[in-house]
Every structure is written in C-alpha cells, then in structure tokens.
Amino acid sequence: VLLPLLVLVLLVWVQPSLEESAAEKFERQHMDSSPFSSNSTYCNLMMKRRNMTRGRCKPKNTFIHESLEDVKAICSEKNITCKNGQPNCHQSNSTMNITDCRQTGGSKYPNCAYKTSQKQKYIIVACEGTPSVP
C-alpha cells in the first residue's frame, strides 16, 4: 500500500521539472543561431526536430538566426502593444536574419510540410519575467 503512494508522490514531485519554462519553449521554437540555410527543406526538418509537428502541424513559425543574447537584448527596447493587446512586446532596433516557416496548403498531419522563406526583418518579441526575457 505504501509503494503506490510513494510512486505517486515521486511523480508529483518530479513532474514540474519535466515541463519547460516559457523561456525554454521560446528557445526551442524560435532560436537557431546557425546561419541561414538555403535548403528548401529547412522548415520541414526543423519543425519536426523541434517537436512542432507532434499531434498537429503548427501552421507557422519563425526561426531567428541571431545569438540568444542579441534577442534577449530586445527586451530592453521600448514597449509596444502586442497583437493580443498586451503591453509587453518589444521591437528590435535593427533587422535580424530569420526564416519564416508556413504550412503548405495541401499538407495535413502527420505529413506536415512547410514553405521556407529567408528574410531580414525587424522582429517583435513578447518579454516577461525578471529579468525580462522572450
């Protein structure tokens, strides 16, 4: 009788450490400090590798090809209003190298397919916490 209770207590105690923080999720979903890849299958590979095609196809995603420090520094820029109306967004003061991934019209889970577009754009990130991070 005590063993199942001990296992349950251990599971409850270990569970929170298995969940990623918002900052860890941002890194997993958006950061790729390697240079642009001219490979047209970049998005197909990265979306799968970064677990964004599990259970469904994430319709769109942006990978940022800059250092994490440079992206974190955006949080010290002037606040702007986010698309969802929240006031915690910040825009980069210079363009950044990004790859936009958009799900192609005909693709459906589990065969998620993406169009890869490389761009240089100002980016907007939502920042939270202390210190404030994307």
In a domain, 10, yes or no: no
- Structural domain containing residue 38: 21-126
Residue 52 maps to which CATH number?
Answer: 3.10.130.10
- The pTM score is 0.83
- Band of the pLDDT at 125, cuts 50, 70, 90? very high
- Say what the pLDDT of residue 129 is: 86
The answer to whether residue 45 scores a pLDDT higher than 50 is: yes
- State pLDDT tens for residues 60-79: 999 999 999 999 999 999 99
Residue 94, in any domain of the structure: yes
Q: Structural domain tally of the chain?
A: 1
Contact 65, 76 (CB under 8 A): no
Q: What is the mean pLDDT of the chain?
A: 88
Determine the 3-state secondary structure of 111 from DSSP.
strand
Q: Look at residue 59 and tell me if it is in a domain.
A: yes
CA torsion 75→77→81→82, rounded to 10°? -40
